Amino acid sequence: MILRAAVLKLALLAAVRAQACPAEAARPIASLSELPKDVLNFLGRFEKPQPVIADIGENFNPSDVIYPNSPPQRRLVSGIASKDCVELKVEFGGFAHYTEQVEFQDTWRGWVKIKGNYPPILKLAPAPAPRP
């Protein structure tokens, strides 16, 4: 029984690895506008009043100083896309300035992040109700 579970686990791992973006079928991405809407939502491109991620070449805040109307602290650096896979390199500003590889797969549930540790989008808490 344990051997059967181990073989099944190896088969599942092989299947997940086979789903990685195949470089031969992928094309380079020149802009965020080329990405599917679900991926853009995950990246925070449609956040108001300002997007959370900047496009390639757009103004970007690499520091940890945030002021009103400051540019996004995330920026798309590069990426490739195929019919059912998107692989992106995203730059993060702040004290720990770094880049992160993020990968999305088109599944029956829509586009799902399968690789990378893309931090969640933080939203402001609503203002407290006025006291009577």
Nearest residue to 104 (alpha-carbon basis) of 90, 94, 91: 90
Task: Determine the 3-state secondary structure of 124 from DSSP.
Answer: coil
pLDDT on residue 36: 93
Per-position pLDDT tens, the chain of length 132: 554 544 444 444 444 444 567 667 789 999 999 999 999 999 988 887 778 899 999 999 898 888 878 888 899 999 999 989 999 999 998 888 889 999 999 999 899 999 888 776 666 566 677 887
Residue 44, both tokens: 């925070």
Question: How many C-beta atoms lie closer than 10 Å to residue 125's C-beta?
Answer: 6
- How far apart are the C-alpha atoms of 76 and 89, rounded to whole Å? 6
Report pTM. Answer: 0.72
Alpha-carbon Rg of the chain, whole angstroms? 19
pLDDT on residue 2: 56
Contact 52, 44 (CB under 8 A): yes
pLDDT on residue 4: 54
